[in-house]
């Protein structure tokens, strides 16, 4: 996620405290869009900051792991720039991710942590690409941040994943995070959406996992992430741009 204030971060056009795009407008846009599921193979979910993977694709991760299929999370930064004056936040957020994955999945999910500086991922595109190449397997689906999400790290990773998917023939789906809050649904009318419908267990596990990111939901010296922002991640499905 990462709304705050890293100096090099591109702050999203709308702050989390603003009312943002009402969830009802997205529901209207997404209603009736086709259901989608990844091909039967490994899933690699790339995340800029601990919590993006759970917010954007937690239900999918739950279902995939529950079906006994391989899931790898590539965790690109530890999200320390969310509160630059809070020492040790990187360690806190790494632990939050571990706790969240335990709530999300009963089986083991691999986490490949790159540890790049939060807010500066664009400077390390080769590192990210090389890690992704190392985890690439036949029939895998790459789940990536949306490349125009409005945070510099999300956008950089999205671009890297698009290029890699194209050059290596890898199936790709992208998940918005901040775009849900600040973008206009009208500009996504022509996007190729796919809805991954969540089971009751999937929604419950995702809701519990989201609560593990306490440093982001209830930060000590900043307003908590408000309910209207979280409402985009409580749907009965997860929407991906294919
Ligand atoms: Zn993020």
Q: How far is the CA of 54 from the centre of ligand 1 (A)?
A: 11
Over pLDDT 90: what percentage of the chain? Answer: 84
Q: How far is the CA of 62 from the centre of ligand 1 (A)?
A: 20
Q: At 229, is the secondary structure helix, strand, or coil?
A: helix
- Segment 214-240, tens digit of pLDDT: 999 988 877 778 888 899 999 999 999
Q: How far is the CA of 154 from the centre of ligand 1 (A)?
A: 6
Q: How far is the CA of 150 from the centre of ligand 1 (A)?
A: 10
DSSP string computed for 21-74: S-HHHHHHHHTTPPB----SS-EEEEESSTTHHHHHHHHHHHHHHHTT--EEEE
User: What's the distance, Cα to Cα, between the start and end of the chain in Å?
Assistant: 21
- Segment 178-228, tens digit of pLDDT: 999 999 999 999 999 999 999 999 999 999 999 999 999 988 877 778 888
Nearest CA to 10 among 120, 143, 157? 120
Q: Are 75 and 113 in contact (CB under 8 A)?
A: yes
pTM, full prediction:
0.94
- What contacts 51, CB < 8 A, 6 or more positions away? 1, 79, 93, 96, 97, 100, 210, 213, 216
Measured CA to CA, the distance from residue 227 to residue 230 in angstroms comes to: 5
Q: How far is the CA of 156 from the centre of ligand 1 (A)?
A: 11
Q: What share of the chain is helix, strand, coil (3-state, %, to 5)?
A: 45, 15, 40
> What is the sign of the dihedral through the CA atoms of 42, 53, 199 and 186?
negative
Q: Are 48 and 153 in contact (CB under 8 A)?
A: yes
Q: Are 225 and 1 in contact (CB under 8 A)?
A: yes
Q: How far is the CA of 131 from the centre of ligand 1 (A)?
A: 19
- Segment 3-46, tens digit of pLDDT: 644 444 444 566 776 789 999 999 999 999 999 999 999 999 99
Tokens of 81: 């720039």
Q: At 104, is the secondary structure helix, strand, or coil?
A: helix
Q: How far is the CA of 49 from the centre of ligand 1 (A)?
A: 4
Q: Residue 12: what pLDDT?
A: 58
Angstrom CA distances, 2 to 22, 81, 110, 221, stand at 20, 8, 23, 15
Q: At 75, is the secondary structure helix, strand, or coil?
A: strand
């Amino acid at each position: 996620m990462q709304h705050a204030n890293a100096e090099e971060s591109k702050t999203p056009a709308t702050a989390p405290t603003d009312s943002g795009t009402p969830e009802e407008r997205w529901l209207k846009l997404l209603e009736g869009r086709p259901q989608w599921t990844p091909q039967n193979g490994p899933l690699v979910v790339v995340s800029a900051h601990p919590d993006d993977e759970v917010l954007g694709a937690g239900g999918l991760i739950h279902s995939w792991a529950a079906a006994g299929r391989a899931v790898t999370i590539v965790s690109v930064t530890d999200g320390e720039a969310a509160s630059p004056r809070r020492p040790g936040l990187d360690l806190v957020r790494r632990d939050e991710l571990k706790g969240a994955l335990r709530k999300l999945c009963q089986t083991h999910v691999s986490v490949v942590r790159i540890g790049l500086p939060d807010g500066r991922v664009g400077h390390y595109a080769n590192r990210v690409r090389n890690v992704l190449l190392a985890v690439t397997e036949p029939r895998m689906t790459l789940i990536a941040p949306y490349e125009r999400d409005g945070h510099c790290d999300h956008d950089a990773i999205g671009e890297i994943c698009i290029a890699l998917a194209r050059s290596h023939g890898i199936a790709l789906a992208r998940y918005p995070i901040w775009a849900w809050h600040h973008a206009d649904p009208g500009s996504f009318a022509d996007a190729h959406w796919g809805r991954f419908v969540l089971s009751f267990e999937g929604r419950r596990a995702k809701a519990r996992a989201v609560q593990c990111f306490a440093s982001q939901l209830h930060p000590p010296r900043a307003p908590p992430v408000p309910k209207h922002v979280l409402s985009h991640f409580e749907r009965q499905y997860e929407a991906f741009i294919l």
